[in-house]
Structure 1
Amino acid sequence: MHMITEPPSLFALQIATLSVIVISAHQLLLRARNRQVYRPLAVCLLAIGFITALPISKTLLPVSFQVLHLIFCLPALLLVAPSLWLYSIGLTCQTPWSFQKSDIKHFAPSGFGCLVALVALILPEQYRYAILVNDNLTLVEQAPTVLRSVIYGLLIVTFGCVLGWIAQSAWYFYKLINRLHHYHEQLKDVFASTEQKELRWLVWLLISVGGVWLFIALDLFLDNLFSPIQFDQHLYAMMLLLLVYSLALWGLRQKPGFTECYELADSHEFVSDPTSSEQVKYQRSALDHQRASQIVTKLEHAMVVDKCYLDANLSLPKLAKHIHTPSHYISQTLNETLGMRFFDFVNQHRVDAAKQLLAQEQDAILTVAMEVGFNSKSAFYTAFKKHTTLTPSDYRKQHQIEGNQ
C-alpha cells in the first residue's frame, strides 16, 4: 500500500467534511422520495464529497484505487454546478419540480468527463502511473508513436475540461444570481411577506463559494501550466467544511418558496417561468374591464372591512379563496388596473393602519409592526419608508409636532 501521510489535524478536517456530506446526502435522498427538489442537492454534495475524499484515499487506499479515484474526479467536478443549478430551479419553481428530459443537457459536460476517464482507464497501467502518480513524462516519450499521441491528446483534453469547468462554473453562477433576482421579484406577486422565502442564505453562500471557486480555479490553472499556489491546506479544509456544512444545513431546512401554491399547479393559475413578462403571462386571459372593476371592489372590501392584511402570512391563494376569485385574475387586476404587485398592495394597507396607530398610541415600533401584520421590524421600516418616505419614528415625531402647533 502506497501511504501519503497527512497531518492529523488536516486529516480530521477532511474526515469531518466527508461525514457531513454523507449524512446530509442520505437525509436529502430520503426526503427526495416525497419531493424531488432535494435530489439535485444530494448529487451536488456527493460530487463535492467524491472530490474531497481524494486526500483521504491517498492516505488509506492502495495506489490502484487512488488512480481510479483521481481519474473520476474530473466528471465529479463537472457535476457540481449543474446539480446546484437544478436545485435552485426546484426551490424557485411555482410548481413541484421533477427531473425532465430537457434537464439531461446540463450533465453533458460531466458525461464527456466520464468518457475521458474511461479512455484513461484503458491506457496501459505503467503509463497511467507515470502520469498520475509519478508525474514522469519520460516514460511517455518512450511509448510507441500512436500511444504517445493518444496520451498527449488525453492530457490536452483533460486540461481543456479543467478550463471548461472554470467557464461552466462562471456561467451557472451568473444564471443562479439572475434566477434568484427574478425569483425575489416574483415572490411579490404572491406573498405579502417574503423575508422567509427570499433564499438570502443561498445568495451569500454563492458569493462565498464564488470566492473559493476563484481560488481553486486559479490553483488548478497554475497547477496545470506552472506550479500550484503555496498555501496552508488547513485554511482550505476549514473553508470547505464551513461551506459544505452551510449548504447541507440550509438545504435540509429550506422548503421551496412556492410550496403554498403547489395545490394550484393543476389549475395553471401560476406560470413556472419566472422570466416571463406580464404581457405573455396574461395574453390568454378572459378578464375584461367590468370584471376587473368588480375584483378591485372585492379587494378593497377584503382589506378595509375584513382587514385581511392583519394576517402576517397572507398570500395570493389565501386572498383568492377569501374573495372567491381565481388567483390569476387578482394578479392581473393588481398589475394592470391598480399598477401594483400583491406585496405592495397589502403592505400599503398595513402602512395606512400603522400610521393611525403611530399617531394615536405610544406603543413601541415593533409592537405596531406586529399589530398590522408585519413579520419583522426591518420589513416594517422598509415598507413604511417606501410608502411614506419617512421612517415610523420620524412619522410619529412629525405628527406630534403638527399636533402641538
Structure 2
Amino acid sequence: MDKRLPPLLVAVFINIAGFSLILPLLPFFGQIFDAGPFGISLLFAAYSFGNIFGEIHWGRQSDIWGRRKVLFVTTFCAGLSYFAFAFAPDLYWAIAIRIVSGFFSGTMSVAQGFIADVSTPEKRAKTMGFFGASFSLGFAFGPVIGGLLAGDGATAASFRLPIFIAGGFSVLASLWCLLVLRNVVAPKGKGAPLPKYSEAFAFVGSQPLLLRLFMIGFLGIAAFASMEAIYGLWSEENFGWGAHDLGFAFLAIGAGGFLAQVVLIGPLVSRFGEARVIMGGLFLLALSMVLQPVIRLPVSGVVLMGMLMAGHSLAFPISGALISRNTPPDRQGGTMGLLMATNALGRIMAPPIFGLIYEAISHDSPWYIGAVMIGFAVIISWQVIRITDQKKAQETA
C-alpha cells in the first residue's frame, strides 16, 4: 500500500462513522415531529439530494483548491450541520439541514480522486478495495455508537448526545485532513469541465452492455436505499426495537459489507468473472428481501440485513468497475458522472415512494416490491453475462 494512502483511509473511516452514527436514530428522531413513514423516508432521501450536488461541486473544486483543503472544509461544515440537526425545530427544518449535510458530505469523488492520484491503473482496483473496507468499517461502528448513546424516550434531548458525537467525528476528520493529509498532485487552479450528460446519455444508450449495467445500478441502489429507510420502522413494529437494538443491527449490515469487500470480491471475481458475481450479489439482495417478512424473527432480521449489505457490496462496486473498464478514456468523465447522477436519483426518488407503500398498502409490501425490482435486475444481469462472454470469445478468437 502506498504510504500516502492510510491518512485518507483514516479520514474516510472517521467521516463515515459519524455519518452512519445517525442512521439508526432517524426513524425515531422523525417521530419527535409526528412524522409518518413518508416523512421519515424524506429524511433519508434529503441527504442523497444534497449529496448529488456536493459530488459535482466538490469534485471540481478539489482540482482548484486541492484534495486536502476541500476535505478539510467540507468535513468541518458537515460537522456543523450535525450540531444544527440536533436542534431542528420541526420536520421541514430537519429535512433542510439534511440536504445541507448531504451537500458538504458529497466528497466521495474527491476521495476517489485522491486514490487515482496515488495509485497506478493496474493497482487501482486493490486500492479501491482498501477504500471500501475503511468505508464498511466506519459503517459498522458508527451505528453501534449511535444506538448505545441514544436515550430511551422519543424526545429531541435523548438524541442530542449521539448527534453531537457524529458532529465531533466530522470535526475530528476535518482536523486530521488539515494536519496529516497531504496533496499528492498540486492544485490545477481550474476545475474540470462539467460532465456532458446529454452526450453521455446518448453514448450509454448506444452500448448494450453499459445500458444494462446502468439499469442494474438504478434498480438495485433504489431498492437498497428504500429497505434501509423502512428497516427501522419495520423492526420497531415487528420486534419492538428501539435505537439501541437498531444500532447493533447496523453492525451486522456493516460487517456484511466489510466481509464482501475484503474477503469475497477478489476470489469470486477470479473464479467466476465480474458479470456472474454481479448476478450472485443481486440474488443475495433479492433473497434477503423475500425472507425478511417470511421468517420474521429478530435473529433473521439482523442476519438477513447483513446478507443484504453483502449482496449490495458485491454487485455494485463491480458493476461500476465494469462500466469504467468498458468506457473509452475520452468518455470516462461524462459516463461516470452520469452513473453517479443515476444512482443518486434512485436514492432520492425511491425511499419516499416506498415510505408511501409502507403506509398505504402494508408494512411488508416494500420487501416484496424491492425483491421484484431486484428480480428484474437479475434478469438483466443474465444478459450482461451473455454480452461479456461474447466479447471475451471475440477477443480470444
TM-score by length of 1: 0.24
Bigger RCO (CA 8 Å, 6+ sep) = 2
Judging by fraction of residues, say which structure has more helix: 2
TM-score by length of 2: 0.24
- Rg bigger for which structure? 1
